[in-house]
Structure 1
Amino acid sequence: MQDPNELENLLERRGALWLALSPLWLEREPREREYSRMLEVVETQGHTPQELEMIYRLEMAPVMSRRQMSVAGEWRAFDEDRLLLDLARHTRRLHGWRKGFWLLFSGLTTMMSRPRFDILIERLHATAS
């Protein structure tokens, strides 16, 4: 049986990071202030580049790439509540074969946002130096 507070704990732990990174998947390039916010949240939460890579590839990309490919809806912004709920539901199920599946196919799910994520990682390394 799953802990009834698991969803709340997950949202508390990851919500700010997920929202900060979500502009990586917008149809427009992230703005400078959005990259600054991403860096601020990553640094505040203390994620290493390796941890960030796994969050990006396994937790976010499967959900965000489906939204990105959808022909329905507005793609200039996100319904944050719906986005957080979708990300939390996906992440809660991310174990066993599902984790391996998304890791295997992460090249496809990250293809469109990878250049933007790489810019974030470069900036993260530059601030750490």
Structure 2
Amino acid sequence: MEEIETLVAKRGELWLALAPLWLDREPRESDYQHMIEVIGRHDLTLEQLEWIFRLELAPVLSRQQMSMAGEWRSFDENRLLTRLVIHYRRLSGWRKGFWTLFSGLTTMMTRHRWNLLMTRLMEERGETPS
């Protein structure tokens, strides 16, 4: 149980902040700003963020996105965190390889939003896009 609590403490805030990328509506400016603020509280590189997006979030949230939109209306953070924790704890070996291979498909619907977020994050950090 302690391992789960540590994982939620480490990733939970970040996961929940980035979840709106998969909503059936475009994130608002305030959503992007909140994401940038939360990312700022974590010491993560752009590459680390990319892998969190592709391997930790996309496999769970793309399934949510493909389901009925009504599920988002009754968005339950605890249920989402539970799904993300279960996925994360299984993310090794062949599963990690599988999700790496198929991450292009699972991120396809939100890639434009992710790229916009990363551009804004780089501007916030004073970095220049390559």
TM-score by length of 2: 0.92
- CA–CA distance in structure 2, aligned partners of residues 30 and 16 of structure 1: 17
Offset of 1:12 from its aligned partner? 0.7
Report what 1:57 is aligned to. Answer: 54
RMSD: 1.2
Is 1:118 the counterpart of 2:78 in the alignment?
no
Residue 39 of structure 2, aligned match among 34, 42, 46: 42
Offset of 1:70 from its aligned partner? 1.0
Unmatched tracts of structure 1, length 5 or more: none
Q: Which amino acid aligns with 1:36?
A: Q
- CA–CA distance in structure 2, aligned partners of residues 77 and 107 of structure 1: 28
Aligned residues: 126
- CA–CA distance in structure 2, aligned partners of residues 72 and 128 of structure 1: 34
Report what 1:106 is aligned to. Answer: 103
Higher helix share: 2
Unmatched tracts of structure 2, length 5 or more: none
Q: Which amino acid aligns with 2:99?
A: W
1:75-90 to structure 2, matched below 5 A, reads: 75-76=72-73, 78-90=75-87
User: Would you identify which runs of 4 or more consecutive aligned residues in structure 1 move more than 4 Å?
Assistant: none
| Conserved 8 A contact 1:28-1:76 | no
Report what 1:71 is aligned to. Answer: 68
1:42-90 deviations in Å (ceiling 9; x for gaps): 1111211100000000000000000111137433462101001100110
Q: Which amino acid aligns with 1:35?
A: Y
SS at match of 1:75: helix
1:80-128 deviations in Å (ceiling 9; x for gaps): 0100110011001111111010000000000101100000100011111
Residue 20 of structure 1, aligned match among 13, 17, 20: 17
